[in-house]
Chains A and B, each alone.
Chain A
């Protein structure tokens, strides 16, 4: 065994790795971790006109808050507003965002599972990439225009209604399709489909096919084999599909804005309003932090409920 001449940090594997990752890591720390920390801090501060007054308080979350303005050097109250958890409007939007993204997640993952199952179990290995490519294409193409087209498809003068009227199936346009939570769910389930299919596909691919044969040889029906062998083994993929759909959908801005109407607005629309039109960064930050806290709580609960499927997968 030859002894290493110098055992020190520089030149070691750890140092090389850290050095190699440092450009990307520094970028992420400066432009991701620091900004997130900053809006967290802002959510506890006081709103001044076009500036932030660094005075700690909880009123952006609970109770009544004041925005201040400098008038001839003296501070005067410019506006009074309610904190996130004391404001009925904010609570309605948070609750609706949560419900919509739970429904979207359930719909998307349930609809996606058979597709992933088909591609993994029935498609010839050489054709799998092609199928996955076909599934991912719509996801990469002009999100805004896809959402807008759903408005065109679902509207009272839109494709579905004009088509149904033309062939005489309905005599009046259907109005419940657009500008409510339904249209938001349909559009988001469409937008996030590949996000759900791919993780499930990956975990189905990892299943050793001989397990399924063993199940069948031991006298299980195809359905019971699926229920007792395939599904539990596919659960890690299902869990990541759920999280990867649920977390971003709760903060979606474009879909509720374009197809949601007044009944389909979500928390992102209120965040945007506070940041852009109302120029109230402290309340906007508190809203952003609150929605993230809800997402995190639900995700952790979901992971906890599924812990037995995820065991043994830790590396």
Chain B
């Protein structure tokens, strides 16, 4: 077996990575309010309780509104930025791209308090809208990372051929470039939606009186008796995220194959 030692180590590492996610459904179906071994029998009681909480439903619909808006806006901004950075040379390119990608490394809390300060400074009331503004900031760099791969592997001669055949820049983009990068765009929409659905700090600072799903979950952590219900909710969310990510990965790979690029793997 090639790389025997490394293989064993990597598998042990994956077990460490997946430990919390594997425990999640185990305790979500466990018939006990305390989260500990030994297990106490199977129940779907905690999942049933999810249907009875109006605050949770409100938080869920808020999160969906924010997630869809943030995904669409950040992907649109991502298309502009990745197209510009892969196609053109222009002044201040490094600085502007650096600024746009900055939220990738900057701690979320710094972004959140900075945005909060400005929004309150200009007198904007906190609402779902302000959370969307924050989430777009966080999601755009991820969108650019995904879309740059699609735009990078694009063959310029295809675009030139379209111009030679009389297409305008806009119609060439729509007819030639867009279909080729479409899988990347879908992948970006799914990933940014997943990020927004999961983002806590921005929503915690910017949502005002509204709740998003993570803010609701964070609030519930104070009540030990609600823990199994939260684990049930977590199980559903993890399944949803994995489904979204697997779909995104499928489109990302298809996009790269379509434009004839080489798959370097990974979203980042």
Q: Do A and B bind each other?
A: yes
A232, CB-defined interface residue at 8 Å: no
**Shortest Cβ distance from residue B31 to the other chain A in the assembled complex, whole angstroms:** 16
- Residues on B with beta carbons closer than 8 Å to the beta carbon of A297: none
Q: Decide: A148 and B221 in contact? CB cutoff 8 A.
A: yes
Q: Decide: A35 and B3 in contact? CB cutoff 8 A.
A: no
- Residues on A with beta carbons closer than 8 Å to the beta carbon of B227: 152
CA distance A34 to B121 in the complex (A): 12
B102-141 residues at the A interface, CB under 8 angstroms? 102-111, 113-118, 121, 133, 136-137, 140
- Residues on A with beta carbons closer than 8 Å to the beta carbon of B218: 144, 254
Q: CB within 8 A of B6: which of A21, A24, A25, A114?
A: A114
- Residues on A with beta carbons closer than 8 Å to the beta carbon of B177: none
Per-residue CB contact flags for chain B residues 1-19 toward chain A (1 = under 8 Å, else 0) read 0110011011001101111
**Shortest Cβ distance from residue A26 to the other chain B in the assembled complex, whole angstroms:** 10
Q: CB within 8 A of A142: which of B107, B238, B253?
A: B238
Q: Decide: A162 and B24 in contact? CB cutoff 8 A.
A: no
A251, CB-defined interface residue at 8 Å: yes
Per-residue CB contact flags for chain A residues 284-295 toward chain B (1 = under 8 Å, else 0) read 110010011000
User: Nearest CB to that of A12 among chain B residues?
Assistant: B90
A223, CB-defined interface residue at 8 Å: no
Q: Decide: B115 and A31 in contact? CB cutoff 8 A.
A: yes
A interface, how many residues as a size bin? 35 or more
B230, CB-defined interface residue at 8 Å: yes
- Residues on A with beta carbons closer than 8 Å to the beta carbon of B2: 122
| Contact A190:B118 (CB < 8 A) given known A159-B36, A271-B109, A271-B113 | no
User: Nearest CB to that of A129 among chain B residues?
Assistant: B265
| Contact A247:B20 (CB < 8 A) given known A31-B133, A31-B137, A288-B114 | no
B170, CB-defined interface residue at 8 Å: no
User: Nearest CB to that of A240 among chain B residues?
Assistant: B105
| Contact A36:B36 (CB < 8 A) given known A122-B6, A133-B249, A145-B217 | no
A128-146 residues at the B interface, CB under 8 angstroms? 128-129, 132-138, 140-146
CA distance A284 to B112 in the complex (A): 12
**Shortest Cβ distance from residue A186 to the other chain B in the assembled complex, whole angstroms:** 9
**Shortest Cβ distance from residue B253 to the other chain A in the assembled complex, whole angstroms:** 7
- Residues on A with beta carbons closer than 8 Å to the beta carbon of B6: 114, 117-118, 121-122
CA distance A24 to B77 in the complex (A): 5
- Residues on B with beta carbons closer than 8 Å to the beta carbon of A278: none
A184, CB-defined interface residue at 8 Å: no
- Residues on B with beta carbons closer than 8 Å to the beta carbon of A193: 13, 17
- Residues on B with beta carbons closer than 8 Å to the beta carbon of A17: 84, 87-90, 93
B188-216 residues at the A interface, CB under 8 angstroms? 191, 194-195, 198, 200-201, 205, 214
Q: Decide: A137 and B106 in contact? CB cutoff 8 A.
A: no
Q: CB within 8 A of B114: which of A35, A148, A194, A258?
A: A35
A61, CB-defined interface residue at 8 Å: no
B223, CB-defined interface residue at 8 Å: no
- Residues on B with beta carbons closer than 8 Å to the beta carbon of A38: 114, 117-118, 121
- Residues on A with beta carbons closer than 8 Å to the beta carbon of B35: 152, 158-159
Q: Decide: A150 and B77 in contact? CB cutoff 8 A.
A: no
Name the segment of A75-83, A198-206, A211-219 touching the other chain.
Answer: A198-206
CA distance A52 to B123 in the complex (A): 13
12 residue pairs from A and B, CB less than 8 Å apart: A14-B91, A20-B83, A31-B137, A32-B111, A38-B117, A42-B117, A140-B195, A140-B241, A142-B241, A163-B37, A251-B106, A288-B110
B contact residues vs A (CB 8 Å cutoff): 2-3, 6-7, 9-10, 13-14, 16-21, 23-24, 27, 34-38, 76-78, 80-81, 83-85, 87-93, 96-97, 99-100, 102-111, 113-118, 121, 133, 136-137, 140, 191, 194-195, 198, 200-201, 205, 214, 217-218, 221, 227, 230-231, 234, 237-238, 241-242, 245-246, 249, 253, 263-268
